[in-house]
Amino acid sequence: MTLTLATAGESHGPALVAILSGLPAGLVLEKAAIDADLRRRQEGYGRSPRQRIESDEVEVLAGLRHGRTLGTPLALVVRNRDHTNWAWGMSPWPPEGEPSGKGTKPVTLPRPGHADYAGTLKYGLADARDALERASARHTAVFVAAGSVAKALLRAIGIEVEGAVVDEEDLQGRVDEARAERDTVGGVVEVRGRGVPPGLGSYATKDDRLDARLAAALMGIQAVKGVEIGDGFALAALRGSQAHDELLPGLVRETNRAGGIEAGVSNGEEIVVRAAMKPLPTLMRPLRSVDLESGEPGEALVERSDVAAVEALAVVAEAAVALELARAARDKFGGDALEDFVASWRAYVERIPWDPR
């Protein structure tokens, strides 16, 4: 029994959708809790005026009855309120009537760092909008809704996942400065998973490795360019005698440099992962680019965008980690009913010498 997530949706299309398969039956979900995560994702200093248009809210189309999962695919929808302004430009079917609203002119000046250029070449597109709409981080809204469901599942076995921006003493100052210079900023986020028992993931194959899965999940988030597990890159400069987490009497450790994962398997310590976000590629003072139609030099597309989205990334990365931990837990503990899943987890943690941390 594994957990799989499929999503679809464009930034200014009608809606974003997700299908989460592999949940046990009987998990209680609360709309307010999912909507609270959606709200957290929309907040944060430096976000685009788009966030004043959107007021994200989850809709459930399948897999839930009276607030309890049915053990069948869970279908989630987050609507794009902004679509009304793009109804012609982003109409799924050939639009009727005269062009009106946004998105009526093709985008031919690709933004370096966005999907615009590679997307047009790869898919044979005349309008980079056909690439950028799906590449947009707007997608993370429905991803966070799915992550919120994963967190509810993890809570049933005592696991809590939390993301935060790292060491940011003056994010607002940094954002204000960048905004004044019509520039953008990135940042680093950290996600911690508490109560994760030893034994999630496996060293058996690369696809089973929990660290590989987490890294792929985090790199799968828009604008993420680096991931580290535990002390990550800093470990490379250390001696082996300094880099590992010694086992002490009582099978406890004083350090967690491994970030809770050894050989691709959780080791019972807190899971600690970090993701680095590049500065967003839509600049109000545009970068140099080339017009794909004329071949002439020009300035990249300028459109409404965020100055920073690092606080949103903390919430999105939390969802990514929750989904991966939930998948690993489903793989290990199985069960069609929630109580079977929990009973399997309980029997396992009673067998091993481990106190949750």
Q: Which is nearer to ligand EPS, 245 or 306 (CB)?
A: 306
What count of residues does the chain have?
A: 357
User: Applying CB under 6 A, which part among 48-56, 121-129, 162-170, 234-242 lies near ligand EPS?
Assistant: 48-56
Looking up tokens 């099978």 gives 251
Helix axes 310-333, 338-351, angle to 10 degrees: 80
**Smallest gap, in angstroms, from Cβ of residue 149 to ligand EPS?**
19
Per-residue contact flags (x/-) with ligand EPS for residues 203 to 222, judged by CB under 6 A: -------------------x
Cβ-contact 304, 50 below 8 angstroms: yes
Q: Is 304 in the site for ligand EPS (CB under 6 A)?
A: yes
Q: Which is nearer to ligand EPS, 49 or 97 (CB)?
A: 49
State how far the Cα of 63 lies from the Cα of 19, in Å rounded to an integer: 9
Two structure tokens written together for 237: 């400069």
Cβ-contact 44, 311 below 8 angstroms: yes
**Smallest gap, in angstroms, from Cβ of residue 305 to ligand EPS?**
5
Q: Is 305 in the site for ligand EPS (CB under 6 A)?
A: yes
Q: Which is nearer to ligand EPS, 27 or 308 (CB)?
A: 308
Q: Which is nearer to ligand EPS, 144 or 215 (CB)?
A: 144
Q: Which residues pair with 303 in a beta bridge?
A: none
Q: Which is nearer to ligand EPS, 55 or 255 (CB)?
A: 55
> Using CB under 6 A, which of 5, 7, 10, 11 touches ligand EPS?
11
Q: Is 141 in the site for ligand EPS (CB under 6 A)?
A: yes
Cβ-contact 142, 317 below 8 angstroms: no
Q: Which is nearer to ligand EPS, 17 or 338 (CB)?
A: 17
Q: Is 50 in the site for ligand EPS (CB under 6 A)?
A: yes
- 126-130: long-range pairs with CB below 8 Å, 24+: 128/292, 128/301, 129/89, 129/103
**Smallest gap, in angstroms, from Cβ of residue 205 to ligand EPS?**
33
User: Applying CB under 6 A, which part among 116-124, 137-145, 266-274, 293-301 lies near ligand EPS?
Assistant: 137-145
Alpha helices (H) along the chain: 31-42, 50-53, 116-123, 129-135, 140-155, 171-180, 210-219, 232-235, 240-243, 310-333, 338-351
Q: Is 346 in the site for ligand EPS (CB under 6 A)?
A: no
State how far the Cα of 187 lies from the Cα of 331, in Å rounded to an integer: 33
Which residues lie near ligand EPS (CB under 6 A)?
A: 11, 48, 50, 54, 136-138, 140-141, 222, 282, 303-306
